[in-house]
Structure 1
Amino acid sequence: MKKKRLLAITLVITLFASIFALAGCGKQKEASNNDEYNGKLVFDHSMDLKYAELFSVDYYKGGYKMITITNRDEDTAITDKQSKILVVPDGMKTPEDVSKDTIVLNGPVKNMLVASTPVTSLMNASGCLENISLVTYDKSSWYIDDVKKAFDDNKLTYVGDYKAPDFEQIVAASPSICIYSTMLTSAPDVAEKFKELNINFILDQSTYEEHPLGRVEWAKCYAALCDKEDDAVRMYDEQAAYVDKISKTEKTGKSVAVFYITSKGKLYVRNADDYVAQMVELAGGKYIFDDLNVGKTGTQTMEMESFYSKAKDADYIIYIWSLGGKPSTLADFTGYSSVLSDMKAVKDGNVWCTTPDFFQIADTIGSMVNDINKMMTSDSSVNELTYLKKLK
């Protein structure tokens, strides 16, 4: 009996020894493979992208990544036509043949400055918030709970407005890279100061993507910096699923006007190919200004009379609450102009406002499309959705 027990113990010990030996061989093999590609860029594969066209991620043997961003603001001197970032994995050397214009960062990249709420929302949704240290919006500007908590936990520092940041504070923090929106083109002196101080910066180009889901897909770009690609893919797939499901249903036949009025009384509507207009179409509706500046994104000012003549028969109104006057009631809304009371959507009680966090939900564009669809297909008793609220 003792012999059998001793034999069993010996077999168990031998088995575990074999397992550890195999594991050790695996690690040695992996280390050996990495040694083979240490300091070399040997192409392996590219990131799979469906809609995003203005960035790419190429993967190389040994864990290197090359992120390429195509800059659309070619008329400015702020950036080159392309920005390249090489992410060097821990324990690996920087290849000698990397061009001098390439930004070289050690991965996973940490201590970033992000001067864009949409980019922050994408990074937060991919588990990359902890990689951000500095922002150009103070705590009171945020609607994202995780961001507000990061402020409370002293993990995020406000370094001043993006047009006038505190450069001394930024230099002291020594960020690995600064990620700005294309609004930096309106503050070229800030970009010049970054260059003078040898601080790496790039411009997010997600707002130029033709398809709304292309904006969401930029989460994969930033996730590549943080080694969080799987999280970004899961988030993107979830948002794309909303749009895919709606695309398989019949069009609603409902028309929608999207606009806002500033505190100075200027009226802005979305251009025909703006992402919000496309979201209406993806939701199964018809954007009422689908012939306005075809091929252009963004907004266009319009006189109230011209707006009314085109949009008076729209079935629904989506008012961008955070950009203009902030109506709380339907009476507030019609108070902007007497002609608004005569619009079909107003008479039918179909005036909806976006929620205050509208520009901080880049990671939930699919959910927003779903809300627009619900707005057009739900009965009149529905007054509030996740990102839309009916004015009464």
Structure 2
Amino acid sequence: MKPFALLILSLAAALMTGCSGSAERHLSDFTSTVYAPTYASGFDIRGTERDASTLISVHNPWQGDARSEQHLILLRGKAKAPADGSVQAVRAPVQRVVCMSSSHVALFDALGLADRIVGVSGLDYISNPRIQQRSRSGELRDVGYDTNLNFELLTALHPDVILLYGISGENTTITDKLRELGIPYLYVGDYVEESPLGKAEWLVAAAEMCDLRAAGADTLRRIAARYNDLRARLDPADARPKVMLNTPYRDTWFMPSTQSYMVRLIEDAGGSYIYTKNHTNASVAVDLEEAYLLANSADFWINVGACNSIEELTAQNPKFAEVPAVVDRCVWNNNRRQTPSGGSDFWESGVVRPDVVLRDLKTILAGGSDSTYYYKRLE
């Protein structure tokens, strides 16, 4: 081939590469698997053949609708967001993040990236000392909650992305306003995960936003190694103590599914969940008489709401004083680490520290001690 023809082909290839690198990105561009979670079922990360941009797809971002999806394109290089705004997009790495759930705070903190959080929802309920310190110094603000979001403040914070959570569906009042303001968002479904390690694996999604995917995956590997080591120490021949969960709420006792997060932790710690009838994906209401009979058959009673003492527990119902776990002082609550306003670190940092939660539960079921991190024995 003549040199002039080679030059023309080279220029054409360069032009094609340049156009491809600066082209708009759409969902259909992301066809290659970048990260397939080992434990989580609610997200994946895919890439495109054209550049380093990636797509975080969230499946089942809230309870009750497994068909829903949320997406966030992480633009890299010269890639552009879809002009029609059909998909949320942000340029990576993100430097300024607003977290609407305390568990989102924990994801970034596990990566050593708490300083990238510039806004939170419900500051008084967040345990993280770095977040509280940055709030006092004015580096971080409370943006409100639900439909009471302070959009003026939110805009002034100049966030790269806001992480949302949904209870039963998308809050379009919020997302429509965020689109109007040009603030990218993503619904994070960590709380829907039933696997303890699945919840923790969402830290990889946070790491992806910060261009630290490998570090995120390595952090998760170390958490999983500790968790699986604790679980592997169980002796199959040992008896499994029976465990009761929760307390009544407005004259109704909700019992979680046998597949739920807490029940999996109990089973992995060597316990046996007392209520075996519920195999759905949600808690079910049990009448008080049946729940009382279950409590009477349990060796341990844990996660007893806001109770801080046996006196507070039995004040709910005098009959509780006769329950064997109460008599034997085998009642434990996951509120050892609380903020003055009642925020629970169990539902914050515990999300990314399932190995520590599991260690607590193993300690409790082995007879208990004061060395637990999230749990305390009610006295």
Q: TM-score, normalised by structure 2?
A: 0.81
- Contact conserved, 1:164 with 1:190, CA < 8 A, in 2? no
SS of the equivalent of 1:221 reads: helix
Moved more, 186-195 or 335-344: 186-195
- In 2, the alpha carbon distance for the partners of 1:205 and 1:184 equals 11
- In 1, the alpha carbon distance for the partners of 2:112 and 2:196 equals 21
What 5-or-longer segments of structure 2 have no aligned partner?
1-16, 24-28, 339-344
Matched, 1:288 2:277: no
Cα offset, 1:390, TM superposition: 0.5
Match 2:328 to one of 348, 362, 372? 348
Q: What is aligned with 1:122? A: 107
Cα offset, 1:164, TM superposition: 0.8
- Contact conserved, 2:97 with 2:160, CA < 8 A, in 1? yes
- Contact conserved, 1:74 with 1:81, CA < 8 A, in 2? no
- In 1, the alpha carbon distance for the partners of 2:324 and 2:63 equals 43
Cα offset, 1:72, TM superposition: 4.7
Q: Any idea what the Cα deviations from partners look like across 1:34-60, whole Å, max 9, x if unmatched? A: 979734779765214211122111245
Cα offset, 1:218, TM superposition: 0.6
Decide which structure has the larger Cα Rg and report it: 1
- Report the residue type matching 2:307 in the other structure: P
User: Cα gap change, 1:145/1:231 in structure 2, threshold over 3 Å: closer, same or farther?
Assistant: farther
Give the length in aligned residue pairs: 345
Q: What is aligned with 2:42? A: 54
Moved more, 190-199 or 114-123: 190-199
Q: What is aligned with 1:230? A: 214
Q: Any idea what the Cα deviations from partners look like across 1:179-225, whole Å, max 9, x if unmatched? A: 11113748543333334444322211122223221111011011100
Q: What is aligned with 1:86? A: 73
- Contact conserved, 1:254 with 1:376, CA < 8 A, in 2? yes
- In 2, the alpha carbon distance for the partners of 1:120 and 1:96 equals 26
- In 2, the alpha carbon distance for the partners of 1:80 and 1:287 equals 30
Q: Any idea what the Cα deviations from partners look like across 1:59-85, whole Å, max 9, x if unmatched? A: 456532221122355978xx9933222
- Contact conserved, 1:246 with 1:284, CA < 8 A, in 2? no
Q: What is aligned with 2:346? A: 358
Q: What is aligned with 1:273? A: 259
What 5-or-longer segments of structure 1 have no aligned partner?
1-33
Matched, 1:205 2:225: no
Stretches (4+) displaced over 6 A: 34-37, 40-44, 96-99
Matched, 1:154 2:123: no
- Report the residue type matching 1:358 in the other structure: F
Cα offset, 1:283, TM superposition: 1.3
Q: What is aligned with 2:155? A: 171
User: Cα gap change, 1:134/1:97 in structure 2, threshold over 3 Å: closer, same or farther?
Assistant: closer
- In 1, the alpha carbon distance for the partners of 2:364 and 2:284 equals 25
Q: TM-score, normalised by structure 1?
A: 0.78
SS of the equivalent of 2:376 reads: strand
Q: What is aligned with 1:388? A: 375
Q: What is aligned with 2:128? A: 144
User: Cα gap change, 1:383/1:267 in structure 2, threshold over 3 Å: closer, same or farther?
Assistant: farther
- In 1, the alpha carbon distance for the partners of 2:244 and 2:252 equals 16
Match 1:253 to one of 207, 219, 240? 240
- Report the residue type matching 2:272 in the other structure: K
CA RMSD of aligned residues (A): 2.9
- In 2, the alpha carbon distance for the partners of 1:151 and 1:114 equals 14
Q: What is aligned with 2:60? A: 71
- In 1, the alpha carbon distance for the partners of 2:22 and 2:150 equals 37
Cα offset, 1:162, TM superposition: 3.0
Matched, 1:308 2:292: yes
User: Cα gap change, 1:99/1:283 in structure 2, threshold over 3 Å: closer, same or farther?
Assistant: farther
Q: What is aligned with 1:30? A: none
- Contact conserved, 1:184 with 1:190, CA < 8 A, in 2? no
Matched, 1:243 2:227: yes
- Report the residue type matching 1:38 in the other structure: G
User: Cα gap change, 1:56/1:284 in structure 2, threshold over 3 Å: closer, same or farther?
Assistant: same
